[in-house]
Amino acid sequence: MAPAALDGTVEALRQRVGDSLVALDIWESASALSLAGFGMTPATGPMLHRVTEDLREAATLAGSLLDDYHVLTVTGGVVVVVTRPQLSGALLLTADAQLGWVLSDVIPAVRMALDDASA
């Protein structure tokens, strides 16, 4: 994947989400290395990747299968993590973002953008 393509993905997501997007990070799912983004530190991607793997293991042991997303509410914002086979991404949104909109619009858009960038 070309870095220019990832930069285009970042810009497309910024325009899609709008002013609610505070930070964004895209990392490689296999190595958890950050590839593109803005507003986040290099430690954010690997740590969120680790959190996702812990959740996946817990869900598997509990008899369920983790889907490719989870949403964390943090102080003053919302963190959306989407994990795809090639690329994964995390978005930090403001607290006024409605979670219904996040689940029905933002997450499918991120999923599609990551798949397009990894193709």
State which residue, 86 or 101, has the beta carbon closest to another protein. Answer: 101
Q: Which of 42, 110, 13 is nearest to 71 (CA)?
A: 110
Name the helix (H) or strand (E) containing 52: helix 44-61
Residues in the site for another protein, rule: CB under 8 A?
40-41, 43-44, 47-48, 50-51, 54-55, 58-59, 61-77, 79, 92, 98-100, 103-104, 107
Q: Which of 7, 12, 50 is nearest to 26 (CA)?
A: 7
User: Could you tell me the smallest distance in angstroms from the CB atom of residue 110 to another protein?
Assistant: 12
User: Could you tell me the smallest distance in angstroms from the CB atom of residue 20 to another protein?
Assistant: 16
